[in-house]
Amino acid sequence: MSRPGAAFDAAAHFDEASATRYDRRIRSFCPTYDALHHMMAAWLSRLPERAEFLSAGSGTGAEILALGRRFPLWRFTAVDVSSDMTTACRNRVAAAGMAERVAYFEGRLQEFRSATSFDAASSIFVSHFIAGREEKLAYFRAISSLLKPGGSFILADLHGERASREFGALLEAWLTSYASHGVETTELDADRAHIENDIAFVSESELLELLREAGFDAPIRFYQTFLFGGWATTKRV
């Protein structure tokens, strides 16, 4: 967790300890995490049989594993700035027998260059860590530039207008849901501080405007769990 006002360092935050706990914690944090992957697969079901898929901020590989099982001929590129999350992803991919189908880039998505143009990409719970309008826009532009025209993009992120009535109500309901998983008070306090200090919340309308500027068609919102939202869009032709 960062100090208030300090820039969030994803590579430092998602260290070995965090990578080890991640798969258990994320399911307490986001009670519909697995449902999100199931829903993503439905949006992506019309892609070519041998699609090339980019997982931006791939973490421990949840999207790759879920989509890889559902679409057995797809190939994946996992991009993540954290070496510990990438190691966890590699281990899980190998254990699932998918090692031959996944390539890796360890670094920021904004610096990733590829000879492959991707049929589809996902960014799940990543860009809410990127502070600043220009920085968020650069991240979305980088994803857009890696996609084929008409390529699919699934975005899921924490979002909301901090000052709104909805935001406060959703935050409290979310933390109550999280606490009900038996989370200790100290961990709960640390996570509330993590949310307050490290998440660069923007409203849905601002997020959609950023996607438009980055070259995407008008997104369709297909998912919401507390402050988590999910949108499906395509790169403008």
Ligand X SMILES: C[S@@+](CC[C@H](N)C(=O)[O-])C[C@H]1O[C@@H](n2cnc3c(N)ncnc32)[C@H](O)[C@@H]1O
Of 40, 44, 64, 85, which lies in the binding site for ligand X, with binding defined by CB under 6 A? 85
Instruction: Name the nearest CA neighbour of 31 among 152, 163, 183.
Output: 183
Please say whether the dihedral angle defined by the alpha carbons of residues 212, 167, 164 and 193, taken in this order, is positive or negative. Answer: negative
Any idea what DSSP says for residue 204? H
8 Å CB contact between 144 and 215? yes
- Which stretch, 121-129, 157-165, 179-187, 212-220, contacts ligand X (CB under 6 A)? 121-129
Instruction: Name the nearest CA neighbour of 21 among 223, 171, 190.
Output: 190
- Which stretch, 40-48, 55-63, 93-101, 186-194, contacts ligand X (CB under 6 A)? 55-63
Of 43, 44, 52, 57, which lies in the binding site for ligand X, with binding defined by CB under 6 A? 57
Question: Cβ of residue 124: shortest distance to ligand X, in angstroms?
Answer: 4
The DSSP element (H or E) to which 72 belongs, if any, is none
Q: Which is nearer to ligand X, 51 or 124 (CB)?
A: 124
Q: Which is nearer to ligand X, 55 or 233 (CB)?
A: 55
| Distance, CA of 133 to CA of 127 (rounded, Å) | 11
Position 121 contacts ligand X (CB under 6 A):
no
Question: Cβ of residue 165: shortest distance to ligand X, in angstroms?
Answer: 27
8 Å CB contact between 90 and 58? no
Question: Cβ of residue 84: shortest distance to ligand X, in angstroms?
Answer: 9
Contact residues for ligand X, defined by CB under 6 A: 10, 14, 26, 57-59, 62-63, 79-82, 85, 108-110, 124-126, 129, 139
